[in-house]
Amino acid sequence: MPEASQLHGNQRSRRLVARRALALCATLALVSAVVLSLDALWLWPLFIFPLLLAAVLFFELGALIVGGWLGVFLIAWLVTAHSATASEIRATVVGLLATWLAGLILGRVQRRHHRLQELLAASSLTDRLTGLYNYGTFVDYLHNEVRRADRYGGQLALVMFDLDHFKRFNDRYGHEAGNDLLRHVGALLSAQVRDADLAARYGGEEFTVLIRGDERDGYELAQRVRVAIATSRVSLRNGLAVSATVSAGVATYPVGALDETELIERADRALYESKRRGRNRVTVQAIDVTTQRAPVRASA
């Protein structure tokens, strides 16, 4: 995940935990005050509500903590304020244990449900085959980064990659081998980008990386990825080890494009210029928005 998004997510998570803890403490304090002020033993089941709330918000750990506190509170209150008999204490303990067990079961169910929701959310952001971010996540991140650059300054470099002769590779080795190659490229891209960058599967055999940097930064990244793919081999299920190459195109914002749509178009145009010039190379196309001239630079 990009560094800024991770930091924002962590801060939001901490705030959410703090609000939940505050709400739980307020609920416990309110129920305790009601029970103590009315001095009615039969009202102790009111504590079921904060116990279940703890299970929903903090899962098994919440149920354990609130259940332990509840047991100590009630038994101490019964002994000191009501001089409860041993049988009354035993009956209360049995009721507390049953309630505590119900809270633990609910906490476990809630934790599993929460984990499932996280997995579903993650699957909506990433490509299942390569583990990279998907097209929708890339588009959203690009939009936010362009807005950030407009507001605070700085440059963005967009690199688009396309596997050379991928259809021919599939025809020769099979679609499962093609999937192995896509996973291999996804792993190489993940290893090459920084935490602050975003690598995504754009679609089919196309990949993209968005970085905070200028034309040179984008070009150097594209070259590293190109060389890493060209010099590595993919182990197929039939025992063969094969190699592949990629073509790449680089465009920048705001120097090379007027908006995010044009940035994608310029990077895509540079990519296909690399293919036209023989593949397995990087092409940089930067547009000076003041003159609308388009110098093109290609390198093997």
Q: How far apart are CA 247 and CA 225, in angstroms?
A: 10
Choosing from 60, 145, 205, 273, which is the catalytic residue? 205
Q: How far is CA 44 from CA 17, 94, 143, in A?
A: 27, 13, 54
Residue 149, judged by CB atoms within 10 A of its CB (0-12, 13-18, 19+), counts as: middle
Distance in angstroms (rounded) separating the CA atoms of residues 183 and 181: 5
Instruction: Using the CB atoms, write b or e for 29-45: b if 16+ within 10 Å.
Output: eebbeebeeeeeeeebe
- Count of CA atoms in the C-beta half-sphere (13 A) of 50: 24
Cα–Cα nearest to 206, from 239, 244, 242, 163: 163
Q: Is the dihedral of CA 161, 165, 167, 171 positive or negative?
A: negative
The three-state (H, E, C) secondary structure of 243-272, written as one string: CCCEEEEEEEECCCCCCHHHHHHHHHHHHH
> Which distant-in-sequence residues (6+ apart) come within 8 Å of 281 by Cβ?
226, 247, 248, 274, 298, 299, 300
Q: Assess contact for 24 and 66: CB atoms under 8 A.
A: yes
Judged by DSSP in three states, 300 sits in coil
| 205 catalytically annotated | yes
Q: How would you class 191 by CB atoms within 10 Å of its CB: exposed for 0-12, middle for 13-18, buried for 19 or more? A: exposed
Q: Measured at the alpha carbon of residue 29, what is the angle toward residues 26 and 30, in degrees to the nearest 5?
A: 85
User: Which sequence positions are flagged as catalytic?
Assistant: 205
